[in-house]
Amino acid sequence: MRPTKTSTTRDPLQKTAGRVLSLATRALDVAVRNLDNARRIANFLRGRMEFEVRPTDVFISSYPRSGTTLTQWILYLLTHEEQPDPAHLTKVSPWFERSLAIGEVTASELERFPSPRVFKSHLPRQWLPDGARYIYVERDGLDVLVSYFHFYRAYLGFEGTLDDFYARFMDGRIQYGSWFEHVAGWRERACDPDVLIVRYEDLLSDRKASIERIIEFLGWARDERWVDRAVIESSFDAMKRRESVFDHATAVLLERGVSPESFLRAGQSGRGEGALSNAQVREIRERSSTGRRLAIRGLASFLQ
């Protein structure tokens, strides 16, 4: 049967309309993302200006997957006597920039937190308020890469290979930008009297000495009982039993209809080297992060 004249003219129109609608949908998606980013930036900047720093405040910053949660938990143990676990670590140690950006808390609400207040952050030093104490947790870039790759696959819908993610990591085309630049920016402040750089590997190999170093830096008076409890209760097994206290992504995942996977993967170091090729390991090792200027991709990338 021959097609009617109407049907022959309808197909091109349908194709054109489909293309137009597809372009319009993408444009609307971009506009919504831009509006959401603008809202988050405005919320954060307003909260940042209204926030009143206390000399006892502590900001724990790091590039993602570098040991922020472990350090937060250690400081929680050092500031709280034995008691029931908090419903979530962010309830007692807020994620500073994200909590303000999404409207979870306001600067005035943070005023109600007792001292010493301990905040999590992934921000560069220059975007954090002055007048506090700052602990930067640095982890071997090989392990950060592999851990972040698994996080991307489990939580952010990434379907590429480790090699694909390696290319992104080296170019800084991932959330929070370049690991090399992030580390370099904090290393430049390593001599500041209010900044302490802690290596994740040291937290694993000699946790007690690392905890004592943190206590000395903060000027806290803690006896052996406090230190020993922090060492025991911050072990990987002890934290794994409390995983719901630490998994900050669960709420976001449930909103998106994604089933959460394990947030605490292994609590080890040195696994990255075995997962990458010799050439990839060599490139990361040779690409020194010292002396590099910090290039920020944009504030919105830190407020996801």
**Domain boundaries, given as residue ranges, for the chain:** 12-302
The residue assigned the tokens 């007792």 is: 114
pLDDT of residue 72: 95
CA distance 59 to 123: 10
Active-site position among 88, 122, 150, 248:
122
Identify the H or E element spanning 204: helix 200-205
CATH for the 12-302 domain, from 2.40.128.110, 3.40.50.300, 1.10.10.10, 3.30.230.10: 3.40.50.300
Is 125 within 8 Å of 197 (Cβ atoms)? no
3-state helix, strand, coil in the chain (%, to 5): 55, 5, 35
- Phi-psi group of 180: left, alpha or beta (phi > 0 → left; psi -120 to 50 → alpha; rest → beta): alpha
pLDDT of residue 258: 46
The residue assigned the tokens 């952010």 is: 156
pLDDT of residue 300: 76
Q: Does residue 122 carry a catalytic annotation?
A: yes
pLDDT per residue as tens, the chain (304 positions)? 555 555 545 577 776 766 766 666 676 565 656 677 888 899 999 999 999 999 999 999 999 999 999 999 999 999 998 888 888 888 899 999 999 998 889 999 999 999 999 999 999 999 999 999 999 999 999 999 999 999 899 888 899 999 999 999 999 999 888 999 999 999 999 999 999 999 999 999 999 999 999 999 999 999 999 999 999 999 988 888 888 787 755 545 433 444 445 544 555 556 666 778 888 888 887 775 554 444 444 777 787 7
**CA distance readout (Å), 164 to 17, 155, 265:** 35, 17, 21
CA distance 35 to 49: 21
CA distance 189 to 148: 25
Amino acid at 32: V
